[in-house]
Amino acid sequence: MRKTLLLFTAITLAGSAQAQLPGLRKRGPAQPTQPALQPIDAMRAEFATQSGGTTVYYSAGNAVLGPPALTVLNAQAAWLRRHPEVVVRIEGYGDTGDTRDHALAIGARRAEEARSYLVLLGVPAMQILTTSWGKERPGLGRAVTILVR
Amino acid sequence: MKRISAPFLLALSAAAQAQQPAPSGVTVIAVPPLTSPDAGTKGNQMLAVGFDISRLVETDLRQTSELMPLPSKREDYYSYPEVTAPSFYKWRTLHAKAVLIGFVRSRSDGRLTVGCYIYDVDQGRELGRKGFVIAPSDWRLAAHKCSGLAYTSVTGSPGMFDTRIAYVAENGTGDGRSRRIAVMDSDGYNHRYLTAGDTMVLTPRLSPNASQLAYVSYASGRPNVRILNLDSKQERPLIPADSISFAPRYSPDGSKIVFSMMQGPNSDIYVVGASGGAPQRLTTAPGVDTDPSFSPDGSKIVFESDRGGSQQLYVMNADGSDERRMTFGGGWYAAPEWSPDGNLIAFTRRGQDGRRIGIVKPDGTGEQALTNGPGDEGPTWAASSREILFQRTNAAGRTALYRVTLVGGEPRAMSIPQDGSDPDWSGVVD
């Protein structure tokens, strides 16, 4: 309700401004300063090299982040804090010998643990999506952070 | 198996005779061609349909471990009045214990009336009958219903001939592997695809009468349960939230769906009305609770949980109360499904040497392995509660559907057009 009111006020002001000072309209509303947009592939390459890898590995059957995983995630968090304009999706995988639905849950859990740690390090939660591939795709026993935009 | 030598048949018949009426024995059943009251050309057409039906009944019954059908022969023709007053002498000399006879009659609207009758040969009395009206193209359905009548009359269990099987049809390899939900009659006929193959799909689960299908779709990028009406083809998400949801299964009366949902790192079991409503949470333990399955009376739910460190089977009341662990063996127990007669629970047991299918009583006793693995999982019961369908993955990663009977023996591969995983077998459609 408050937003609508503000917007209404803004329009009224703009209307009156236009009536009194026609020249102002030409410039249009102030453009927000855009960050220099890089192609997504270049961003992904930069993310992968500067964060020490996109992938964290788990030992079979659990979702516990070991020291190597924490090292990778620390670097990922630092990079993501510098790039608040990107959104990433963490895709968790289960283990090869597991049954289908348990693997799905473990994959989701692995993605969620990685996400929680990144949020703990100050990455906005809105910046990170999660999903799970269970054992339905090759690449078991890990969670991969993928830049989506 | 198609052709049985006479000595073998006689030996079996003798064994059946000696054991009769022991329910564990094999019952020899005669299936002469169905007759017709119609005359002339029409009559001949009806007799041809009747012969097709009796031969399909013979094929149906041959797939069971309880009935041994005698070959359907044209010379066993009988007249229409004999349908309700058959002579049993011939079947007694062939050591048959039961005979299935019937008729096909044309109707003025172009459809057919089919009647099936089953008789106890020794006692010369009727055990049951079934009549229905079908389109001529649905003669296979009529045969399956007659097979069900014969099977139920002899064994006391529902037949699984008029049932549907849903599974995930798989093509290609690696990330490019396409998956489509497919549904077919339990004999492999009437095969059709329900999803397009551009979206990852998992775990199709049919409603008890096979009119609806619950499955997991990645259409949103993450796994969500969706409901598909097989008649109207209309589809909707099971729950509005975008939480990760999976492992759906219908209650025995089809009114509810029980499933798993992620809340942060925790997977719990929920139940929701099949036509919508707010989900109700049933488990709260930390860890992965999943793969719930109702008991046939709807009062209990079996599920798997790793709350104790490794995956084990647990049973609770349908409202979530009184959770109790029911398996204590080594390795991991997963993917339980309660049998339609309520007496057993099938599961996947995972150990160092792979995955195999097993059964256990609901009180946790009487555990028995049904397959040797090493790549077996996802058991689903036949309506008869005497057979189980499951997924087998070979060393090369190819998946196929296999059937195994409770009495033992080697699992048999089902014939499907491509690789297949994650089967679900419906109840009797009727």
pLDDT at A83: 92
Q: What are phi and psi of B39, to 5 degrees?
A: -115, 165
Mark yes or no for CB contact A132/B247 under 8 Å: no
CA angle A98/B378/B201 to nearest 5° reads 85
Q: What is the pLDDT of residues B214-263, one digit of tens each?
A: 999 999 999 999 999 999 999 999 998 789 999 999 999 999 999 999 99
Closest Cα in chain A, distance from residue B218 (Å): 9
Residue bearing tokens 């229409």: B80
Residue of A58, A88, A100 best to disrupt the B interface, most CBs of B under 10 A: A100
Tell me which residue of B340, B412, B364, B430 sits closest to B144, measured CA to CA.
B430
Mark yes or no for CB contact A136/B202 under 8 Å: yes
pLDDT at B5: 40
pLDDT at A30: 58
Closest Cα in chain B, distance from residue A69 (Å): 17
**Identity (one letter) of the amino acid at B77?**
Y
- Grouping H, G, I as helix, E, B as strand and the rest as coil, residue B115 is strand
Given a contact cutoff of 8 angstroms between Cβ atoms, the answer to whether B256 and B269 are in contact is no
> Mean pLDDT across chain B, nearest whole number?
90
Closest Cα in chain A, distance from residue B222 (Å): 5
- Residue B121, pLDDT > 70, answer yes
Given a contact cutoff of 8 angstroms between Cβ atoms, the answer to whether B201 and B189 are in contact is no
d(CA A3, CA A12): 14
Q: What is the pLDDT of residues B398-418, one digit of tens each?
A: 999 999 999 878 999 999 999
Closest Cα in chain B, distance from residue A111 (Å): 8
Which distant-in-sequence residues (6+ apart) come within 8 Å of B36 by Cβ? Answer: B43, B46, B47, B50, B80, B103, B104, B105
Calculate mean pLDDT across residues B379-393.
95
If phi > 0 it is left, if psi is from -120 to 50 it is alpha, else beta; for residue B385 that is left
pLDDT at B22: 35
Residues of B in contact with A134 (CB under 8 A): 202, 223
Beta-carbon contacts below 8 Å between A and B: 85
Instruction: For chain B, positions 356-415, list CB contacts with chain A under 8 A.
Output: 377-378
Tell me which residue of B115, B97, B126 sits closest to B15, measured CA to CA.
B97
Q: A63 — contact with chain B (CB < 8 Å)?
A: yes
pLDDT grade for B316, boundaries at 50, 70 and 90: very high
Mark yes or no for CB contact A132/B422 under 8 Å: no
pLDDT at A60: 87
- Residue B14, pLDDT > 80, answer no
What value of ipTM does the predicted structure carry?
0.84
What percent of chain B lies above the pLDDT cut of 70?
94
Give the tokens for residue A94: 């289960």
pLDDT grade for B6, boundaries at 50, 70 and 90: very low
Provide DSSP, B356-415: EEEEE-TTS---EE----SBEEEEEE-TTSSEEEEEEE-TTS-EEEEEEETT----EE--
Calculate mean pLDDT across residues B315-331.
94
Residues of B in contact with A137 (CB under 8 A): 174-175
Burial string for B265-286 (b: 16+ CB within 10 Å, else e) reads bbbbbbbbebeeeebeebbebe
Closest Cα in chain A, distance from residue B208 (Å): 21
Instruction: For chain A, positions 115-144, list CB contacts with chain B under 8 A.
Output: 116, 129-132, 134, 136-138
- Residue B19, pLDDT > 70, answer no
Please name the member of A97, A132, A136 whose beta carbon is closest to the beta carbon of B244. A132
Under-70 pLDDT residues of chain A: 1-37
- Residue B291, pLDDT > 50, answer yes
Given a contact cutoff of 8 angstroms between Cβ atoms, the answer to whether B285 and B307 are in contact is yes
Q: B350 — contact with chain A (CB < 8 Å)?
A: yes
pLDDT at B255: 96
* pTM for this entry: 0.83
pLDDT at B430: 66
Higher pLDDT, B133 or A29: B133
Closest Cα in chain A, distance from residue B60 (Å): 32
d(CA B193, CA B167): 10
d(CA B184, CA B9): 32
Q: Is B43 exposed, middle or buried (0-12, 13-18, 19+ CB in 10 A)?
A: middle
Determine the residue of chain B that is closest to A90 in CA distance. Answer: B222
Residue bearing tokens 């073998």: B8
d(CA A28, CA A21): 13
Chain centroid to Cα B19, Å, comes to 28
pLDDT at B281: 97
State which H helix or E strand residue A134 sits in: strand A128-134
d(CA B276, CA B257): 10
HSE-up (13 A, CA, CB side) for residue B260: 32
Calculate mean pLDDT across residues B185-203.
92
Residue of B201, B218, B246 best to disrupt the A interface, most CBs of A under 10 A: B246
Residues of A in contact with B265 (CB under 8 A): 63, 108-109, 112-113, 116
Provide DSSP, B354-372: EEEEEEE-TTS---EE---
- Residue B426, pLDDT > 50, answer yes
Please name the member of A105, A129, A136 whose beta carbon is closest to the beta carbon of B288. A105
Mark yes or no for CB contact B291/A101 under 8 Å: yes
Closest Cα in chain A, distance from residue B306 (Å): 9
